[in-house]
Amino acid sequence: MVNVAILGYGTVGSGVFKILKDNNSHISRRAGEEVRVKYVLDLRDFPGDPVEEVLVHDVNVIMEDEEVDLVVEVMGGIEPAYTFVKRALDTGKSACTSNKELVAKHGAELLEIAAANNVNFFFEASVGGGIPIIRPLTECLTVDHIEEIQGIMNGTTNYILTKMEDEGADFDTVLKDAQDKGYAERNPEADVEGYDACRKIAILTSLAYEKQVDFEDIYTEGITRITTVDFDYMKKIGASIKLLGIARKAVGITYSMVAPFVIYPDNPLYSVKDVFNAILVKGDMLGDVMFYGKGAGSLPTASAVVSDVVDAVKRKGETAKILWSSEKRLIGSADAFTTPYFVRVKGTGLEDKVREKFGKVQFIEGDSSLNETAFITEVLSGSEYNEAAEGFDVVSRIRVSK
Ligand code: HSE
């Protein structure tokens, strides 16, 4: 018998409790022994909810109980999650979490603490919700050098961009609709400014390249400046715009970035719509492989958390080898990142000047009432773009996925 304690009875915690109850015999068979929820920790009471039987308000009850083999941390945020997970690992309990802030900031350190105590720290649900991506990266794609990861890792922004594209509605209108439907928070900053995707790509970049990538070092641009006019141009060239997290290995340097990108239909991420997430991994031997599914929500996210529980039970007495050292990996700047750009500048009759400054470009004809010139450049570094753009009144510029 394995005793589990769930820290937090919110959206994900209640999903974990339900899955461990509803699918218990299936999960126990897969794990190799019976898995039981002994405690759920929350400050609140839940009158009439079956959780009442196992609800506790004091974390010490869990930490001091030697029968608890494993904690599931689904509280979110850095504190007290960090203190609780560290204490659990230090007292010989494995920990599984969906908490991307915690993993991005302390993942390497918590893996080291887990190894020192011969237990496991797992975090499948921290990136892509229910989509398996952490275990595929650490257990399956072990042969290839990862050349690049491109991910749509935020459902809220993908929903907003999809609606802007399909319905021609502007950002503010779609954001309000997303808030009304519960797809966007009342304070949407973490999603629309790209901070949520930034934590997730920090985790994937650290795992792909085996050293700590600090999310503070990652160039992050959100979707608030994307307009319906940008999508009108995309319709003319048969492309879309998606918020991507990118990890890329170039000669002697690693890049990690979050920004909106123009995407063409030959990229499998092109058709990822609404709240869905997808992560495209490019290996040097395997080529492209894509992971697609629900990146948020109670049961999808909890399903990934419980898959970690099963893995931890199967590995009792050993620590899984996850290569993520706390040594810091320096990230190349956005000025050095190379990509084509979609650019809109104010004014017409500028073709010669545009060619002179940007080199070879593909012009896109726009609505003449806009009084602007739009084009797509060849591959430029960020600093080459900045230099070329000097002297133009830039309305919009969006990187283009290669
Ligand atoms: N706000 C996040 C999203 C939730 O929209 O994808 C999952 O991290």
Give the pair of three-digit tokens for residue 258: 């979050």
The SS3 of residue 58 is: coil
Predicted structure pTM score? 0.97
Q: What is the largest CA-CA distance in the chain?
A: 76
> Is it the case that residue 132 has pLDDT exceeding 90?
yes
Give the pair of three-digit tokens for residue 283: 């290996």
In terms of Cβ atoms closer than 10 Å to its own Cβ (0-12, 13-18, 19+), residue 396 is middle
User: Do 102 and 125 form a contact (C-beta atoms < 8 A)?
Assistant: no
How confident is the model at residue 344, as a pLDDT?
A: 98
Question: pLDDT (tens digit, 9 = 90+) per residue, 369-397?
Answer: 999 999 999 999 999 999 999 999 999 99
Residues with catalytic roles = 200
> What is the DSSP secondary-structure string of 290-358?
EEEEE-SSHHHHHHHHHHHHHHHHHTTTS------EEEEPPB--TTT-EE-EEEEEE-SS-HHHHHHHH
If you measure from the C-alpha of residue 65 to the centroid of ligand 1, how many angstroms do you get, rounded to a whole number? 33
Q: What percent of the chain has pLDDT over 70?
A: 100
Round the average pLDDT of the chain to a whole number and report it.
97
If you measure from the C-alpha of residue 126 to the centroid of ligand 1, how many angstroms do you get, rounded to a whole number? 10
Q: Which of 89, 78, 81 is nearest to 113 (CA)?
A: 89
What is the average per-residue pLDDT within 352-381?
97
> Is it the case that residue 94 has pLDDT exceeding 90?
yes
> What is the DSSP secondary-structure string of 367-386?
-GGG-EEEEEE-SEEHHHHH
Using 50, 70 and 90 to split pLDDT, how confident is the model at 154?
Answer: very high
User: Do 293 and 130 form a contact (C-beta atoms < 8 A)?
Assistant: yes
How confident is the model at residue 396, as a pLDDT?
A: 97
Question: Is the Cβ atom of 101 under 6 angstroms away from ligand 1?
Answer: no
Q: Which of 119, 51, 133 is nearest to 91 (CA)?
A: 119
- Choose which residue among 196, 242, 272, 292 to substitute to test ligand 1 binding: the one with the highest number of ligand atoms within 8 A of its C-beta: 196
> Is it the case that residue 48 has pLDDT exceeding 90?
yes
What is the average per-residue pLDDT within 48-68?
98
Residue type, 397: R
Q: Which residues contact 127 (CB under 8 A, 6 or more apart)?
A: 100, 133, 134, 151, 153, 200, 203, 204, 279
If you measure from the C-alpha of residue 211 to the centroid of ligand 1, how many angstroms do you get, rounded to a whole number? 25
Using 50, 70 and 90 to split pLDDT, how confident is the model at 290?
Answer: very high
Q: Which residues contact 399 (CB under 8 A, 6 or more apart)?
A: 259, 260, 261, 262, 339, 340, 341, 342
Using 50, 70 and 90 to split pLDDT, how confident is the model at 281?
Answer: very high
Question: Is the Cβ atom of 296 under 6 angstroms away from ligand 1?
Answer: yes
Nearest CA to ligand 1 atom 2: 154
Check the CA dihedral 189-255-226-154 and report its sign. negative
> Is it the case that residue 182 has pLDDT exceeding 90?
no
Question: Is the Cβ atom of 155 under 6 angstroms away from ligand 1?
Answer: yes
Q: Which atom of ligand 1 is nearest to the CA of 159?
A: 5
> Is it the case that residue 118 has pLDDT exceeding 90?
yes
What is the average per-residue pLDDT within 21-38?
98
Q: Is 200 left (phi over 0), alpha (psi -120 to 50) or beta?
A: alpha
What is the average per-residue pLDDT within 148-172?
97
Question: Is the Cβ atom of 220 under 6 angstroms away from ligand 1?
Answer: no
Give the whole-angstrom CA distance, residue 398 versus residue 402.
13
How confident is the model at residue 144, as a pLDDT?
A: 96
How confident is the model at residue 183, as a pLDDT?
A: 87
Q: Which atom of ligand 1 is nearest to the CA of 156?
A: 5
Angle at 35 between CA 34 and CA 36, to 5 degrees: 115
Provide the β-strand partners of residue 292: 278
If you measure from the C-alpha of residue 156 to the centroid of ligand 1, how many angstroms do you get, rounded to a whole number? 6
User: Do 69 and 349 form a contact (C-beta atoms < 8 A)?
Assistant: no
Residue 141: how many CB atoms within 10 A of its CB? 19
b/e map 291-323, b = 16+ CB within 10 Å: bbbbbbbbbbbbbbbbbbbbbbbeebeebbebe
Q: What percent of the chain has pLDDT over 90?
A: 98
> Is it the case that residue 76 has pLDDT exceeding 90?
yes
How confident is the model at residue 32, as a pLDDT?
A: 97
Question: Is the Cβ atom of 196 under 6 angstroms away from ligand 1?
Answer: yes
> Is it the case that residue 402 has pLDDT exceeding 90?
no
